[in-house]
Amino acid sequence: MEASTVLRLKGLTKRFGPILANDDITIELQKGEVLALLGENGAGKTTLMNMLFGHYLPDSGNIEIKRTDDNLVPLELGDPSAALAAGIGMVHQHFTLAENITAFENITLGAESLFSLRRNQKKAQTKIKSIMSHSGLDAPLDIPVGKLSVGERQRVEILKALYRDAHILVLDEPTAVLTPQEADSLFSNLRRMTNQGLSVIFITHKMREVLSFSDRLVVLRDGKNVGSMKTSDASEKKIARLMVGSETQKVSSKRIKPGGPILSLNEISVAGQSKRDSLHEVNLILNSNEILGIAGISGNGQNVLADLISGLVAPDRGSIVLKGVAIENISPFNMIKSGFGRIPEDRHRQGIVGGLSVSENMIIERLDDPQIQNFGFLRSSVINKNAKTLSEKYDVRGPGIDQASRLLSGGNIQKLILARVFEKQPEIILANQPTRGLDMGAASEVQKHLIEARDRGGGVILISEDLDEILGLADRIVVMRDGKLHDAISNSREDIGLMMAGDST
């Protein structure tokens, strides 16, 4: 049977000031197809999808869509409600959920008239229940979204799109915050739905997902469509070449012999507000020349552990011992002083001050450094020179070092943080989800730096939900579950996956 075209993006172009984010992009989508949209950070994938959904208005080009059996008709541009009415559902890269209302309310929001006197909850409940059982996606419906875990939120996002009877589903990096198992089940559910006629466009940076779940792929580079191929004809190498225009090799870590312990957490307990942010008698030893991988499903206490090592929370019980000396005053400042370098999880919110310039963000952790300041005044020439050097060395690309850092793309923000952290040559590095949402090139750059730091004699604590990354990089693996740490019984994918899920004993 000849597949029929359900969507055609024709010559879409979008400019943001000087940046040509999308340059004359044409893409077609067939019925029942899973199309992977690939490209480096900043290649323009999200922009393209935002035009499809009506968030952005294209500078030129148009979109045609098939509703039922008739011909393709043009879609009203720049209006999400038109896109929704046309059967397009979108799962955004950044959550679009109101945290003060429940998942149920988020899903039904806008589906009924705003001016009906009562909400018709029964019918909606039934519909959501049936979507849940069809798709295999599950999330608690009746508690405020603010209390849900990241994975749950991601599923709510997808449910939201399906609830509006989408026949074209756009997923922008849906698996960035899911465990491998969650991702697998998401894709097998999607496959089931495409068999019933749903068409899917999904954006991801994970090759495994592209190769095993998509039918076809399109690669964007610098805002242009640089190639499209059947997945069956594709290989990781081919894709990478298209994406970056040259070949990159996967980082692999040569094991070296670890040194003596440099950091130990002894019987640390933190009583957080909920189970998700508590620690129970955690013991951990980090050696020099070692990458310690902490695997686990998000929401099991990784963030408190990260906050603890960042100095943001103090332990209720237990001690942090650095090279035999207990750290007295636990604060972010003292942790930096003691030689910690931290790559925070949420780079936009915790990593950079978006309103400050790139060069200012590069020195924000060393404000008391006499090289940076003179009698309390900043030495701007030094700061600028520093920024220039680091930008080159770490390949931070953006509109300029004196521009607000929020203008950088995600990958470049991460490079900025790397530059700031590694330049100090810290003895202990905490890397919390350091490659989440990064493209291959940027991710391998980060990984290379982590390995370099280890080889130089540092200790690295790598917290990641990407099991492949941990398996590839870590010298030793522990699994975090319910606020406790467990030594991995083996380095096999299956065993660790099971421990993460809680079936180890």
- Helices marked H in 39-79: 45-53
What is the chain's alpha carbon radius of gyration, rounded to the nearest angstrom? 24
Residue whose token pair is 């070949």:
247
Site string for Mg ion, 56-95 (x = CB under 5 A): -------------------------------------x--
Residue 297 to residues 276, 302, 433, 476, 497: CA-CA distances in angstroms?
A: 11, 9, 12, 18, 9
Q: Which of 66, 155, 206, 347 binds ligand ATP (CB under 6 A)?
A: 347
Collect all residues with Cβ–Cβ distance below 8 Å to 455 and sequence separation of at least 6: 256, 289
Q: Which of 342, 436, 454, 486 binds ligand ATP (CB under 6 A)?
A: 436
Q: Which of 7, 36, 45, 290 binds ligand ATP (CB under 6 A)?
A: 45
Q: Return d(Cα 365, Cα 349) in angstroms, integer.
A: 16
- Distance of closest approach, residue 259 Cβ to other proteins, in angstroms: 27
Q: Look up residue 122 and give its amino acid.
A: K
Q: Are 90 and 170 in contact (CB under 8 A)?
A: yes
Collect all residues with Cβ–Cβ distance below 8 Å to 133 and sequence separation of at least 6: none
Count of CB atoms within 10 A of residue 183's CB? Answer: 23
Query: What's the 3-state SS for 314-366?
Result: CCCEEEEEECCEECCCCCHHHHHHCCEEEECCCHHHHHCCCCCEHHHHHCCCC
Q: Residue 197: phi, psi to the nearest 5?
A: 115, -5
- What is the total count of residues that contact ligand ATP (CB under 6 A)? 28
Per CB under 6 A, 410 contacts ligand ATP: yes
Per CB under 8 A, 110 contacts other proteins: yes
Q: With CB cut-offs between 5 and 8 Å by kind, which of Mg ion, ligand ATP, other proteins, none does residue 409 bind?
A: ligand ATP
Q: Which of 89, 93, 206, 330 binds ligand ATP (CB under 6 A)?
A: 93
Q: With CB cut-offs between 5 and 8 Å by kind, which of Mg ion, other proteins, ligand ATP, none does residue 155 bind?
A: none
Site for ligand ATP in 123-182 (CB under 6 A): 150, 173, 176-177
Site for ligand ATP in 206-265 (CB under 6 A): none
Name the residue nearer to other proteins (CB basis): 147 or 230. Answer: 147
- What is the total count of residues that contact other proteins (CB under 8 A)? 79
Per CB under 8 A, 377 contacts other proteins: yes
Q: Look up residue 484 and give its amino acid.
A: K
Per CB under 5 A, 437 contacts Mg ion: yes
Q: With CB cut-offs between 5 and 8 Å by kind, which of Mg ion, ligand ATP, other proteins, none does residue 268 bind?
A: none
- Distance of closest approach, residue 183 Cβ to ligand ATP, in angstroms: 12
Site for other proteins in 128-167 (CB under 8 A): 160, 164
Per CB under 8 A, 380 contacts other proteins: yes
Site for ligand ATP in 280-339 (CB under 6 A): none
State whether residue 69 is helix, strand or coil: coil
Q: With CB cut-offs between 5 and 8 Å by kind, which of other proteins, ligand ATP, Mg ion, none does residue 117 bind?
A: other proteins
Residue 105 to residues 108, 128, 166: CA-CA distances in angstroms?
A: 5, 11, 18
- The site for ligand ATP (CB under 6 A) is made up of 16, 19, 21, 39, 41-47, 93-95, 150, 173, 176-177, 346-348, 409-411, 436-439
